[in-house]
Structure 1
Amino acid sequence: MRRNSRTRRVLRPLLTGIALLPVALAATTAHAAGYRFGTKSAAAEGTANANGAEAADASTLYANPAGMTRLSGWNFSGVLDYLDAKARYTDQGATISLPGSGLQPRPTGTVGDSFTVTKPAAVPHLYATYRASEQLSYGMALFVPWGTKLEYRDDWGGRYNLQRVELKSFSLNPNVAWQTTPELSVAAGVNFQYMEGKLRRAVPYASAYTKGLLGAAQQAAAGGAPALALQLQQQAAAVFGDKSYDGSIAVNGKDWSLGFNLALLWEPAAGTRLGLSYRSAVKQKLKGHGDWTQPATLPATVLAAVTGSPYNGTTALDHNDSDASVSVTTPDSVSLHGFHQVTPTIAVMADYTWTHDSKLKQLRIDFTSTTPDSITPEHWKDSSQVSVGAQWKALPALLLRAGYSRDLSPVPSATRSPALPDAHRSWAALGANWAVTDSASVDMSFGKVRLKDAAMNATDDGEGETPCNCSFGTARGNFNTKATLFGVQLNVKY
């Protein structure tokens, strides 16, 4: 009784923190870095995600929920990750062009201009499991599966491709696990996934103005006024690429959708476990609104043209506010993992995860008005991650961990875009678990992530589709990205 009383006193403030995690989630999912948020627990992060078959606490719900059958009674894990990511972009000659005009591309930035597009992020996750009988266990997970927030300067060279993007998500994931034999457990779950997205980019209304001037020049030449035609052509050349005529388009949308997950965990011999888990793709249609902003400097005749309806491919752009949607399918993935207790104090582990990222062919914004779709080509490839790790029980109450991971990016260099400028990465991690009492422990992790330098040469040309709601801006530059990851996790069992 004395020990239980002491446990409650030690854990009271920590348990209060766990209770507040769902509230914190709504405030912090906006800061998740990267499209796939690859960290879900500090215990896993200490091995660079190699511990999928360990099943030592409630966070096994994400990596392999079949591991719930190894936990007795009630188990809770609350996680807080802090990611200090530094993605630095350097301009290498961004331009804008106007096909069919005869005008040369204009520079939109300054070669060598460099700035950071990311900020630190704090992201929580929460897990709970209950063993109802010898064979049956239940669990509930609340975690952040996907997210990104990139903020470019409003006047950067690739502003006609993107100025800022933000993706929030969270998953509510109930699971059930069944121990079919003493050696084998299976699990299944339902994934209720919420996603919300926002993006904004500049619109080069100088291009529409230029087209109008060139059209007027052709009419003047045909009408026998060569001097006027020349004057209009010179004016068009002066207007083209002038950022004082920039407007913007901002799009937002959100959606709930469903997916599922399956898992098994097999222990062929004491201390040796093999696991397999699958998470399904989730199809979502983020429905929201598209808001166009035209510059005050635009002549009234040009403004009338760009807001005219319907769009006919030549004289009007129909840039009027309207409902809009973006279809997103988050990819399915398969993970194979193993764990082996080499000695009573030393264990080794590994994980291989394959992700069906080739589902992402393009990002298409569908406007319900007659405005043509906005299309960004992606053409991703399937990706894979290999992780290896080890842990050492240095003291009865202290477990030390280490791990290394290599993640092959799905993003081809040819279609790398400002919205998703991913690259191959490596991750080195250290971690520790401290048993505060018999029923509570704390995990801590530290990691360094380094991405391969990534070149970008992305042109907003709608992949050649017509009609095209394109800027013909080319974002040309290089990304240098690295990150430091800290994780802390509280585990409580009853």
Structure 2
Amino acid sequence: MKKQSGVFMLVSAVLAGVLFLLPSTGWSAGFAIREQSASAQSSAYAGVSAGGDDISSIFFNPATMTLYEGINISGQLAWIVPDIELKDASASTTFGNPITGSTSGNIGPQALVPAFYASWQVLPDWFIGLSFNAPFGLTTSADSGWIGRYHGLGSRLRTYNLEPMIAWKATPWLSLGGGVQVQYSDARLTSAIDLGTVGTSNVPPVPGGMPGDPSQDGFAAVEGDDWSYGFSLGVLLTPRNDTRIGIGYRSAMDVDLEGEAEFGLSAYGEILSLLSGALQPTGGSASITLPEMVTLGIKHDVAPDWTFGAEVAWTRWSRFDRLVVEFDNPSQPDELTLEEWDDGVFVALGVTYRASDRLRLRTGVAYDQGVVPSPERRTPRIPDSDRYWLSFGAGYDINESMTFDAAYTHIFSPDARMNLQASDPGNEARGNLSGTFTSSADILNTSLTMKF
């Protein structure tokens, strides 16, 4: 009865967290959320695709489920504390008028990211499992009067991913696995509108427009949601008792966000809306493809108490070429943001030391390649850049059936320039914006795993 009660409490608590917390700020390249495992994070995710620590590895490689006998349940909770600030900023309209405003301080809100995993060995060589994650997400939020307000005030993407899986231990050295992803996504984008520039650029111009004047600013909010589907595949090789090699694949998913757009207008904006028919509540949509990811992990026992891990992951971020918001109102021009991202590579090395029968100590380092190709494509919504990880943590067996893991990571990012040009497509009304982003993050991740 005690074990059943413990399982019920753990599952209930984790599912409540997944449903009601905000899995909205990732700290991996692009807007992926790598923080899916406390045990793997403690070694900077080195070798996670080869499994072996706990069932959270099935997110990266479903074939690793065959490493965990019986019934396993694991709940994870990551606390992400980013610091993203814009320094030495300057801005001007397409006509050369200066745009004034603050630099807003830290635009990266804190976030809690939960995850849940379960597996069941239904036959000696067959396993079924389930994961519930937030694989993609972002949140940036700036003050209404900040200098980059025309390029973005708030950005939010949240994803909730449910994935049933199956794995088969085909031979003592080969396991295969796969899963079906069902994902819900919702997004909200807000920005100020330089109505002075919009009216002055209009054909014919609307008299009274003052480009860059905050007293004429408008406000736009666009939000939408969608369900999407994908799959995962995995292979686990055990060529020797002391060595495992895992390969995982998570597919791309097409997301077609459908929703509404609303506008807040100044007195000048009301006149502009009346004359043009634009800037009125309307339906809107945007389509993006969330990228596929391929991972390769290796775990090798170099001594009875020491295990070395290595991980390489490739993510096809080049799918994110542009973000286009289309409006149902034919008088409302589409919103275009050029992205033109590069593919990204993540590389990690880590080590685990078994200090005792119950205690495991881990540490690791990683390099996560930024995917924004140039300062001209770095935006306040996603000021992505290279990241360098330093992680450490521990796993402790509370008893034979319960394990607690904790990990801490500090992420360093070099300063990243931004140089957005009013002459680029989509930026005429947003103007020129330049400056340097300074970024870092601290991540604390914990998990409780139960085995039966």
| TM-score in terms of structure 1 length | 0.86
Q: Deviations over 1:40-87 (max 9, x none)?
A: 010110010113213332212112211111111100110010111111
Q: Who is 1:174 aligned against?
A: 164
Native 8 Å contact 2:23 2:112 kept in 1: no
CA gap of 1:346–1:476, structure 2 versus 1, over 3 A, is same
CA gap of 1:445–1:215, structure 2 versus 1, over 3 A, is closer
**Cα distance in 2 for residues equivalent to 1:95 and 1:459:** 10
Q: Deviations over 1:314-355 (max 9, x none)?
A: xxxx22211101111110011111001112211001000011
2:316 to 346, 349, 356: 356
Q: Who is 2:41 aligned against?
A: 45
1:119 aligns with 2:109: yes
**Cα distance in 2 for residues equivalent to 1:372 and 1:471:** 12
CA gap of 1:406–1:147, structure 2 versus 1, over 3 A, is same
Q: Who is 2:385 aligned against?
A: 423
Q: Deviations over 1:81-109 (max 9, x none)?
A: 011111111242111124xxxxxx12213
**Cα distance in 1 for residues equivalent to 2:116 and 2:8:** 12
CA gap of 1:474–1:14, structure 2 versus 1, over 3 A, is farther
Q: Deviations over 1:18-54 (max 9, x none)?
A: 4222222232235423411111010110010113213
Native 8 Å contact 2:263 2:279 kept in 1: yes
- The aligned runs of 1:435-474 (5 Å cut-off) are 435-459=397-421, 463-464=424-425, 470-474=428-432
Q: Who is 1:108 aligned against?
A: 99
RMSD: 2.1
Q: Deviations over 1:365-405 (max 9, x none)?
A: 01111122100000000110000100001111100000100
CA gap of 1:334–1:33, structure 2 versus 1, over 3 A, is closer
Q: Who is 1:268 aligned against?
A: 239
Native 8 Å contact 1:285 1:326 kept in 2: yes
Q: Alignment partner of 2:86: what SS? A: strand
Native 8 Å contact 2:165 2:177 kept in 1: yes
1:289 aligns with 2:280: no
Percent identical residues? 29
**Cα distance in 1 for residues equivalent to 2:250 and 2:5:** 35
Native 8 Å contact 1:90 1:115 kept in 2: no
Q: Which residue type is aligned with residue 384 of structure 2?
A: D
Native 8 Å contact 1:29 1:170 kept in 2: no
**Cα distance in 2 for residues equivalent to 1:475 and 1:453:** 16
- The aligned runs of 1:391-406 (5 Å cut-off) are 391-406=352-367
Q: Who is 1:207 aligned against?
A: 197
Q: Deviations over 1:295-330 (max 9, x none)?
A: 1x3276434224x2xxxxxxxxx2221110111111
What is the count of residue pairs matched by the alignment? 446
Shift of 1:208: 3.7
Larger Rg: 1
Q: Who is 1:56 aligned against?
A: 53
Native 8 Å contact 1:161 1:474 kept in 2: no
2:434 to 476, 480, 485: 476
**Cα distance in 2 for residues equivalent to 1:212 and 1:427:** 48
1:377 aligns with 2:327: no
Q: Which residue type is aligned with residue 124 of structure 2?
A: E
Shift of 1:17: 4.3
Stretch deviating more after TM superposition (33-42 or 369-378): 33-42
CA gap of 1:351–1:210, structure 2 versus 1, over 3 A, is same
Q: Who is 1:165 aligned against?
A: 155
Shift of 1:477: 1.4
**Cα distance in 1 for residues equivalent to 2:421 and 2:20:** 34
| TM-score in terms of structure 2 length | 0.94
CA gap of 1:60–1:33, structure 2 versus 1, over 3 A, is closer
Misfit runs of 4+, over 3 Å: 11-15, 208-216, 299-303
Q: Alignment partner of 1:421: what SS? A: coil
**Cα distance in 2 for residues equivalent to 1:305 and 1:400:** 67
- The aligned runs of 1:243-258 (5 Å cut-off) are 243-258=214-229
Native 8 Å contact 1:90 1:114 kept in 2: no
Stretch deviating more after TM superposition (17-26 or 369-378): 17-26
Native 8 Å contact 2:218 2:269 kept in 1: no
1:338 aligns with 2:338: no
**Cα distance in 1 for residues equivalent to 2:138 and 2:385:** 15
